[in-house]
Structure 1
């Protein structure tokens, strides 16, 4: 089996090469670099060409790979993708490789992606189906690469797989290999003895050994069900926890600088497909590996710290303290040393017929003017003047030297040439530095423009969605809620859940019925996620939620707590809180004032529909109940059962039907008023407000336990039995 790995040398690529070689594959490498600096011993053949080369077809034909692994997000040739040229090169390279693979019928193409395609915040673990939300330029490039590979595979029937590696980290061997968050925090501890960390940066990760093993396993399997897989531990971690692990194992005293400010940024991948389809898990936890990384960096600190950052002897520390002064004196020392050489050379050439006309001092001054500028040129001119006069004093008296105007002309020539050349050099240096500074400034501005453009595009899309979107228009909301006005409250509840789901943009919606000041009971939960708080909830214990409900405000889970819904709002009848609607698993960018207002509007319209339904039912009470009891007649109870069956069919809630055997036939029971009232009192006292009881189509009395299962129904049966009422479970009427 042959594998072609497309990517520059890095820790990840090296481990991929070693893994495939260990498993008996013949490894080929397309390095993307015309001038390679290394070659791995396990690479059978290395192709040192750019990815967009016209020779890509010949390279693939030569390698005849059964598998191509495009390292993408972890390719060392892709730094940041900030420049237009780099972005264009990346995408054109991917297209070039894909087209060549398709033409030569390569069996499988694997694209390595990363967590950078998800840069927004998510309250719940990110599944493979979740659309990408890149913000940075590199994230956008990687996401575009994903889409290109997937679409190419769908349109050409080529077997393509995208593997997302979640915050992959590794054991760095030197400072150049420090590039991810775990190693960076270790470097802070090693260098500064202070670790800046934020508790609001929440993420998951995967160790490189686990990642490489999963890449090999998925790539080598003959069949797969999906095109996208996530490789992650799914273990929640944040910077503070990582910093605490580093602090505990560090050889030196380390403090943690808490930078927990701003909004929470949470990115945890689920990795569900990989576990369910391939049974692949991870072996390493971040705490174990971070300890190993910190211990290694402590033992090999000189490989990670620059010379000025290292702690040495008192002599070394003293040298570093005066290092700037010493380096500032070096040009002057160099000037003096060269002058001594020039002075001796001048003494040897002064009497030579061949070199008499060569002005060694002038060459010396010009040399320093070119390399160091005007300041060193003046020093060189002063030294040259002193040396020339000292040389003249060998043959002439001091007076003769002082009155010789030729010497002054020579000195003027020396200073003028030296200062002129030095000034030109300094001017060119200033111009060059200014240009470099301007380029850096403009590059920074260009990056800001990219960021501003991304932000503006996001705002534009949100506003466009608010204004144009059909789902959010008030007219549509009105049309949706009009259907609630003619339904009984049970039907209104599950219809309300569907309205909320469509308008807010999430499948996870729950509606609770408030029983008293402390507790509420679940009526409808559209998913397991929405039902995670249980069937009965003591909402008064959740202070933030309770305060918002008391103030009639929308609760927003800004801390992204797992135990709380993303948003919640209370529906009131007058001053009494009657229902609580909860929204789960909403994208972080949608936790906005617009969504809060939208939730209020929908809640208000739903409340109006329920109130009208309740008013109508109160008005026709005499036609729905048996005499002066709470027992529903056959027609009314049949509607309630039908609604409950529909709710159960949609998997919004459970329900159980009990047959009151001891009551006998309802028609016979009605003839005995005392017995009818006794059963009415017992049933009314022992069921909840959300439950119903009435006459079935067969003429017997039934109790409908809303949001209950068989085990919970057994408790109710025993409770009835203790009061002389015999009941049993009934599948249907």
Structure 2
């Protein structure tokens, strides 16, 4: 999907972008960088430095056809909203309406936006549910509530699916000191700087703090749900400021904690009810306040160390005072140059007053030159200075001030100075104004041209890339779609079986094998295969006997058999689960022309797809483990065992992978005791379970009837009789 995130370079937005990127989506960002930082995003994406209320946003929507819009760009400071409510409304209301309009116009599938607990105002009943009466006490809360009303009306009028999330106090890495959760980031910065922590009140006031990665995951879950409307997003737990200080003290010794008077308007306790979002999104917060603070502190400490390193390497920045002095000097420079020119004029006038050069009025040249260089303001100053010099000349000639007031020649000369100053200054000022207007128009046209050129270039790149993929991949889109559907199972056995089909289909290879890796990563067990005769394919591999397996398990990278060694597959890749290698998949039999970088990348993408599907299956199994087994035993429930058996039958039908099904007859032994005995002697790829008649069955992977004798001897027990009931 194409996902547009406004405010994507900011605190919450960058984490949301990380989440969608990790899930394989294309990320686009609109951010004016008022609080965001481009370095918050390190992966490949497309970013636009714009405000969300800018009309040029229409070009972005027109060019990209977004599936999801996550609107997080906002003015987040309550104090700033009180000081400048118009700026708050411009960003939080006008920007939201612009995004709503464009999303409806361009048929966006879902519009997700950030609201806030500030819409509730003061509430006595805790925890606060979504049905509570909203009565915001700040312009920030009012703008957020207005956004909810606009979004609801756009859903009603235009059918745009809108989802609003009322955040509680969000905290985590990349946060600054602004916003509703800023107390933690302020504490972090002061802790690292070894400064006292300042607490307003007794520190027993509580808030509902939620870690930013939990917020990002909830937004991702919301984007993939059919839900709309308003939801609280919180952990539904109250945490006091003193508790935060206590946890921070465990992370790093604190210099001092200073308690001062409670601020006017601060509420004592706040907590949001998250029952609805947990139920409808199938979401729950993963991070406790202790875990979240530790991760946040680690990030802040690392960032501080990097800044200190940069400073010690010679990064010199001008202080605010230096910047102000420099700007002040630039403003005074024309006046200083004017005075210097006047002093030169005065010297020439007084020095050569009685010479033949004295007939030339240097002051007229001075006024004209200053007017041409600096415009009207400095020309008027030159007129004033020249008039003063003219009066001084008359006084030196023996005239007095009173007699000058009756001298028409005197006033005529002053009028000439004023006329020249005004005409020249006004003409130059008007010319400069016209030039500035034209330059501004040219700048706007160039800016728009550059913007449209970037959009055009991006569209061309995407078009060329799609054409290249179509030429190189043939009907790969249909195959990848089919592969995605085949890998949607929540049973690992079915995922592995489907993986063989997927790899053969996408890579056009005749031979595929999948081996599982034991927990010690010392042995590999054959799980699924296609294209090999069963006699030649080893059912287990010792890692230390094969250098390429050792390399894969050590590095986690794909192995390419560039030396074309006979006993090694052409490509072997690890299948990851929770940062460990759960299995390896190998392909062989590629044609020489297909042994290329393109096919290596295609194999990598295919394996990543399989890893993702397998991780989801393992996660599901971990979550439902108590329901998969008979209570207090290692026996799989009948329905779960039947699903695994069906996948083995399917693997045999498609790839001739053998399996052996044994039925147990028990005497003087319970099911649980029998299961414990058999399970302890099985491989990782074998299963023990029940059938619908509550009889114990044993399913042996990659095992034929010829292999049964040594296995039956290994599983032998006086009270357990095992016999093959199905062998394929």
Q: TM-score range by the shorter chain?
A: 0.3 to 0.5
Return the TM-score normalized by structure 2. 0.39
Return the TM-score normalized by structure 1. 0.39
